Amino acid sequence: MSNINKAVHYANFHYYSKPLSVVNLRKLQIPYPVSLKKIQHKREDVPIQKEAGTFETYIRLSHGMPHASAAMESITQIDHIYTKYDADYDSSMLEICEKLGLGNNIALLLEMVQIATLFHDTGRLGDGMDLWDEDSGNHCEEYFREIYLKSPEFKKLSSEQKVKLAKLFGDAVRFKDNQATFMDLHAAIHPEVDYIRQLINMADTLEVIRTRDDFNPSRLPIAKRVSSEVMVKNIIPELVIPHRDKIIEEGRLSRKGRIVYPGFDDSQYIPKPGYNDQKIAASYFKKMQQYDAIVLKINETNIDEVISRTLQGIKDYIKDYQNHSGFQFAHDGFFSARYHGKLGVNRALFYQRLFESGAVSMDTKVLALHTLLISRDGGRTLKDYVYRGMNQRNSYTVIEQLCTHLSSYGPYDSVQAASIADFANGKSKMDPLPRLEGRRTGPELG
C-alpha cells in the first residue's frame, strides 16, 4: 500500500469517520453531538431492492474526508502553478529538500505536503471557524513521527532529522494561517521554507469556494507573489475555476461559489448551490476505492486486509471503552442509548486474541467474524467499530459477502460458531481459543 493510501485510511478511521462533538458559533462552542451523514451507492451486481443492494458509510459532510482529500489532491496542481508563475519556487523547494536531508527528491517532499494537508482538519470538533489547528497539527506530527517517517524512504535519516521533519509539518498544519509564527520557528531551515505552509494554506483556501457565495482569490497565498494580471489571465482560469468544477462534480457546493476578483468576469457562471447526495456518494466511494480505504468486496484476495481492519476496529473499541462503563446516549452522533460494561470489553478482548493468533486458521477467523457480526446477543457498538474499520456500514452487504466467502472453505461449522458466540457473549466459561489453536482445552484458558 502506498504512503498516501496508508495515510488516507489512517486519517479516515481515526478522525474523519467519527462525528463532530460541538456546535461552533464563532468562538462559542456548545457541546452537542453532530450526526454523521449517511451516504449510499448502488452495487452493480445486486438488485437495489435487496437490503444488501448498496454500499453505505457515514461521513462528515463539510469538514470530513471529501473535503480533506480534495485539498490533498489539489497540491499537485498548486505545485504546478507555483512552478509556472513564481520564479523562486523551484530552486527554493530543491534547496529546502536538501536541507531536510531528502536530497533532490522533490516528489517525496510534495508527498509530505499532501499528507500534512490531508491531516489539516483531523482535530476539528465542530464546523464553522477552525479553532482546532493545534490539535490537527498534533495529529499530523504524531502520524509523521510514529508511522510515516518509519517508511523505507526515510531509513537513511537520523532520529534527529525525523523529529525535525515531523515538527516542521506539524507546525505547517498548526500555523497554516499564521505565517509569522511558522517562520519564527522554521526560518533557519531556509528563507523560503514558508512555501510548505503556503501550499497547505492554499489547498484549504481553494476549498472555501464550496462554502461561500462570493470567493475572492486574493486570499490565496500566491496572489501576493504574482501580479493581478497573472491572477486574472492564468491563476484563476488554471487553478481556481477547475477546483470549483471539481467541487461541483463531487456534489459539495453548498453555496453559490462565484469568483469575485478585480478584472475577472465570472458572469457566464450559473451557480446551482446545494449538496448533491448522489454525486457525493459516487465520488466518495470511487475515491476510497482508489485509496484502498474501503472494503467493497470480500474474497480470497483481500481477506487478510479484512481481518486486519476488523482488528483495528476492535482495538479502537477497547481503547475507548476499557475504562468506561454505564449508559451512553449518542453513537456516531445519533441518539442511541446503549449500556457499556465489562461484558462488552471482554467480548472485544476475546475476539482480539482470536484474530491476532497465528495458530488460528483463516477459515476459523472468517467464521468468528461472521459469528460476531450476526450475533443478536449484544456487541452492537463493537460491530459498529468493525464496520468503521472497513469503512463499510451496510451490515447486510458485509455479511452477505462474508457468508459467500465463508462457504468457499467448506460446510458451515455450526458447533464451532456456537462455541465462539457463547464464550464471547458470556454464556459459557469454556474458552474455545486453545482448542482452535490446537492446544489443550479447559475452562477459562487463554
pLDDT of amino acid 108:
98
Residues 66 and 59 sit within 8 Å (Cβ to Cβ): yes
pLDDT digits (tens, 9 = 90+) for 222-277: 999 999 999 999 999 999 999 999 999 999 999 999 999 999 999 999 999 999 99
- Measured in whole angstroms, the distance separating CA 412 from the mean position of its chain's CA atoms is 35
Cell 457468508 locates to 403
Domain ranges of the chain: 3-46+60-207, 302-437
Q: How many residues does the chain have?
A: 446
The pLDDT value recorded for residue 323 is: 87
User: SS3 string of the chain?
Assistant: CCHHHHHHHHHHHHHHCCCEEEEEECCEEEEEEECCEEEEEECCCCCCCCCCCEEEEEECCCCCHHHHHHHHHHHHHHHHHHHHHCCCHHHHHHHHHHHCCCCCCHHHHHHHHHHHHHCCCCCCCCCCCCCCHHHHHHHHHHHHHHCHHHCHHHCCCCHHHHHHHHHHHHHHHHCCCCHHHHHHHHCCCCCCCHHHHHHHHHHHHHHHHHHCCEECHHHCHHHHCCCHHHHHHHHHHHHHHHHHHHHHHCCCCCCCCEECCCCCCCCCCCCCCCCCHHHHHHHHHHHHHHCCCCCCCCCCCCHHHHHHHHHHHHHHHHHHHCCCCEEEEEECCEEEEEEECHHHHHHHHHHHHHHHCCCCCHHHHHHHHHHHHHCCCCCHHHHHHHHHHHCCCCHHHHHHHHHHHHHCCCCCCHHHHHHHHHHHCCCCCCCCHHHHCCCCCCCCCC
State the pLDDT at residue 335: 83
- Give, in degrees to the nearest 5, the angle at Cα 135 between 324 and 139: 85
Report pLDDT for 329.
Answer: 82
Below-50 pLDDT ranges, the chain: 442-446
Task: Quote the distance between the C-alpha of residue 101 and its chain's center.
Answer: 28
